[in-house]
């Protein structure tokens, strides 16, 4: 995934993450190792964010609370290992009825965005809730993407205004989360790419649809097969 949305990258952190990914894959190209790659990245991100925000204490509190979902109307791009982890979570935890309902949501999102530019899609955010949002709550919160872990706000009113106007009006936030997540994403994808595994930006809805249609997505990806459709926007 291109990490250009993150203004600062810690190159040393990215390098360390890349080395970890390479080590995991060299230990064995198995389904469990495919899942370990993303799990390791999520743990790193959570731990670094927690440490950074603990000492010294933040000057202003983060106002995000359970049930607040304005950011769940942003369009999320994910890395292939994240798609594998979320897809596996869905397979293990969703009922058949829940999977069927999710597939309808995924198809709706894919069809709605087809042929549109990134700017056009951003302007329609009120109509494009995350397919994983269920009754206002994230249905895969434990394995939510890295980019979702970076999202936060210091003023809920700004989030509400950005949602209402369907454009980025400048939500105040701390830059350290962007740096941590952007650096880990960079190392994650560079490591996957070096080991011959698919490592390109993915649309969350399309990636999960691809996962659910693939016969053995974890094994296929770790063996170097291209199972995900690349992220493509309409021309401006």
What is the pLDDT averaged over residues 155-168? 82
* Greater pLDDT, 35 or 174: 35
Model confidence at 3, pLDDT cuts 50, 70, 90, reads very low
Percentage with pLDDT > 90 across the chain: 72
What is the arithmetic mean of pLDDT over 201-220?
Answer: 97
**Lookup result for tokens 């880990």:** 184
Q: What pLDDT band is residue 231 in, cutting at 50, 70 and 90?
A: confident
What are 89-134's pLDDT values in tens digits? Answer: 999 999 999 999 999 999 999 999 999 998 898 888 888 899 999 9
Which residues have a Cβ under 8 Å from the Cβ of 17 and sit 6 or more positions away? 41, 44, 183, 184, 186, 187, 188, 191
How sure is the predictor about 141, in pLDDT bands with cuts at 50, 70 and 90? very high
Q: What is the mean pLDDT of the chain?
A: 92
Which two three-digit tokens encode residue 194?
């070096």
pLDDT computed for residue 122 by the predictor: 84
Mean pLDDT, residues 64-79 taken together: 90
For the full predicted model, state whether its pTM sits above 0.85: yes
pLDDT tier at 234, thresholds 50, 70, 90: confident
What letters, b where the CB count within 10 A reaches 16 and e where it falls short, cover 114-149? Answer: eeeeeeebbeebeebbbbbebeeebbbeebbbbbbb
Report the C-alpha gap between 28 and 25 in whole angstroms.
Answer: 6
pLDDT for position 165: 82
If you compute the radius of gyration of the chain from its CA atoms, what whole number of angstroms results? Answer: 17
Is residue 146 within 8 A of residue 186, CB to CB? The reply is: no
> How many angstroms from the chain centroid is the CA of residue 201?
10
pLDDT digits (tens, 9 = 90+) for 183-200: 999 999 999 999 999 999
Average pLDDT over residues 152-165: 88
Pick the range with the lowest mean pLDDT from 137-141, 172-176, 201-205.
172-176
Q: Is the peptide bond before 185 cis (omega within 30 degrees of 0)?
A: no
């Amino acid at each position: 995934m291109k990490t250009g949305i993150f203004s600062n990258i810690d190159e040393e952190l990215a390098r360390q993450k890349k080395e970890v990914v390479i080590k995991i894959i060299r230990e064995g190209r198995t389904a469990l190792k495919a899942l370990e790659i993303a799990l390791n990245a999520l743990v790193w991100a959570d731990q670094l964010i927690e440490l950074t925000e603990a000492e010294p204490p933040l000057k202003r509190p983060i106002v995000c609370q359970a049930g607040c979902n304005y950011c769940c109307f942003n369009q999320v791009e994910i890395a292939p290992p994240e798609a594998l982890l979320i897809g596996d979570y869905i397979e293990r935890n969703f009922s058949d009825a829940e999977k069927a309902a999710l597939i309808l949501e995924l198809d709706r999102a894919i069809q709605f965005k087809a042929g549109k530019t990134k700017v056009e899609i951003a302007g329609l955010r009120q109509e494009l809730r995350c397919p994983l949002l269920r009754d206002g709550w994230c249905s895969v919160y434990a394995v939510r993407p890295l980019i979702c872990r970076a999202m936060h706000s210091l003023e809920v009113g700004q989030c509400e205004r950005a949602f209402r106007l369907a454009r980025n009006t400048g939500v105040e936030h701390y830059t350290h989360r962007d740096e941590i997540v952007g650096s880990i994403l960079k190392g994650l994808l560079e490591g996957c790419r070096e080991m011959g595994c698919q490592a390109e930006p993915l649309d969350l809805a399309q990636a999960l649809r691809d996962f659910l249609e693939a016969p053995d997505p974890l094994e296929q990806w770790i063996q170097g097969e291209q199972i995900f459709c690349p992220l493509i926007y309409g021309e401006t």
